[in-house]
């Protein structure tokens, strides 16, 4: 994979995540009333701590996307850590419209592809830290 193609995958992943969240929010209105009431009750009962965690996660996500696009060495680790953190259940059951669940699954698949490409393809050499050459002592 070329670095340019990797950047397209990063942009595609970022766009899919944004589209997934937007479509999920819009598609919730099509849920049955009982499920919609459950979603509203879950949203109303969330704690401030979860809001802070969510904001930190979103900030880290934007930073990791920028870092992956720019081939920063820290970005692979940050992206992987955020991916692991997203698997930790912080709330109860999640209700999604079918299109939202589908797009969420697609983002998970693409996230796995990004990790695989960033760690196990020739692109991984772009993430290495360039150490300056030390001149020999006189």
Residue 13 has pLDDT above 90, yes or no: yes
Q: pLDDT tens, 39-54? A: 888 877 767 888 888 8
Mean pLDDT of the chain: 89
Its domain, for residue 68, covers 3-122
Does residue 117 sit within a domain? yes
Does residue 15 sit within a domain? yes
Strand, coil or helix: 20: helix
pLDDT for 91 equals 74
- Number of domains forming the structure of the chain: 1
Strand, coil or helix: 133: coil
Does residue 138 sit within a domain? no
Does residue 12 sit within a domain? yes
Task: Name residues whose C-beta falls within 8 Å of residue 134's C-beta, 6 or more positions apart in sequence.
Answer: none
Does residue 54 sit within a domain? yes
Does residue 38 sit within a domain? yes
pTM: 0.83
Q: Which of 75, 83, 61 is nearest to 118 (CA)?
A: 75
**pLDDT average, residue stretch 93-112:** 90
Does residue 66 sit within a domain? yes
Does residue 30 sit within a domain? yes
pLDDT for 54 equals 87
pLDDT band per the 50, 70, 90 thresholds, residue 138: low
């Amino acid at each position: 994979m070329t670095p340019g193609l990797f950047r397209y995958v990063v942009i595609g992943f970022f766009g899919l995540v944004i589209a997934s969240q937007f479509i999920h929010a819009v598609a919730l209105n099509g849920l049955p009333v009982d499920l919609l009431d459950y979603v509203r009750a879950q949203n109303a009962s969330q704690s401030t701590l979860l809001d802070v965690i969510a904001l930190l996660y979103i900030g880290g996500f934007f930073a990791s996307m920028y870092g992956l696009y720019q081939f920063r060495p820290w970005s692979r680790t940050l992206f992987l850590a955020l991916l692991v953190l997203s698997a930790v259940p912080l709330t109860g059951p999640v209700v999604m419209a079918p299109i939202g669940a589908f797009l969420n699954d697609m983002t998970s698949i693409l996230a796995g592809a990004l990790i695989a490409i960033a760690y196990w393809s020739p692109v991984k050499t772009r993430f290495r830290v360039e150490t300056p050459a030390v001149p020999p002592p006189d």
